[in-house]
Amino acid sequence: MRAVSLSVPPAFDDLKDNFICGYTDIKHKWYCGKSGKHEVNTVAVDTTDGAGPHNIQMFMLASDGTVLNCLPGFWESGDLNLELELAAELNKVYLDPNLSKEQKDKIFVQKQLNHILDHPMAMIKRSRMQGFDRQAEFKKNYIPDTVSNPDLYMQEKGKTASAQRAINVNYKAVSSDNNSNDSSSLRMTRLNPVALYRLRQKQVDPVFKTTDEIFHERMAANPFVPFNEFDTGSFVSYGTDHYDKGESKMTPGTNKLTSKHNINSLFNSIIKASPAGPAYNLIQLGTGNDHFVQSESD
């Protein structure tokens, strides 16, 4: 995470200039996942957005510890930066003396849900739930909030893993860069933004929501909650609790790896170069369904 997201632009610059960064160990928390060994001087790999939600959560907090945003698992640097910007917007709302608590909460919900609609297609593609996480969701004895198509979910639930994968035969075709619906913002089109999002998300995964939608929906249900009251266990409850891409067995220069010891000084400079009093903080912790708020008019 440090090597492939936090220490590279644009997230690095935002963290350095506007955040105080810290971390805490969650290995004894009941919701903490299991993973392979990750030494600080070993390699790191890119993966999909939202992968490994039980192992790491990145909280963006107001100065008093109120949760503004939280990203479960790994996130690509550019996608992470979009969420840092949202946290900055919500911090301004939280500090606005002219707004009541009810007004602030309503704006929080609106911004969290409408932010989903602004995600570029590339981010939606990167947020497709990994195969082993999808399999874990299929094993649940209820229809979880990670499902976008309950009927299809129930149809596929009893099938083998290979049969479940068969419904995604169009995934590679629509994941190419030549997607006609790939505008930088859904609000740039004349189509209904919610309907268009659903169309694009369905192309990526016809059964499950993408992880960017999952976490924003869950955040919308928790407007301006103090960190010590935030239900992290429920927030990260999707997919498998065991995540390991075998980084400890890899060597730098293979499989999109980045040597962590080469970026330690960059990561440490985030702390050293942070301003004395930023408006909001980020803490890196060691490890609904269709309820979009009406979008702004085209």
Which residues in the chain show pLDDT less than 70? 1-4, 7-8, 30-31, 33-45, 160-196, 242-298
Average pLDDT score, the chain: 73
Q: State residue 199's pLDDT score.
A: 75
What is the model's pLDDT at position 127?
Answer: 95
Q: Determine the pLDDT at residue 72.
A: 94
Report long-range pairs for 63-69 (Cβ below 8 Å, ≥24 apart): 63/279, 63/280, 63/281, 64/226, 65/226, 65/227, 65/228, 66/94, 66/224, 66/225, 66/226, 66/227, 67/222, 67/224, 67/225, 67/226, 67/227, 67/230, 68/94, 68/224, 68/280, 69/112, 69/219
Look at residue 35 in the predicted model and tell me its pLDDT: 66
pLDDT digits over 178-193, tens only?
444 444 444 434 446 6
Question: For position 2, what pLDDT does the model report?
Answer: 53
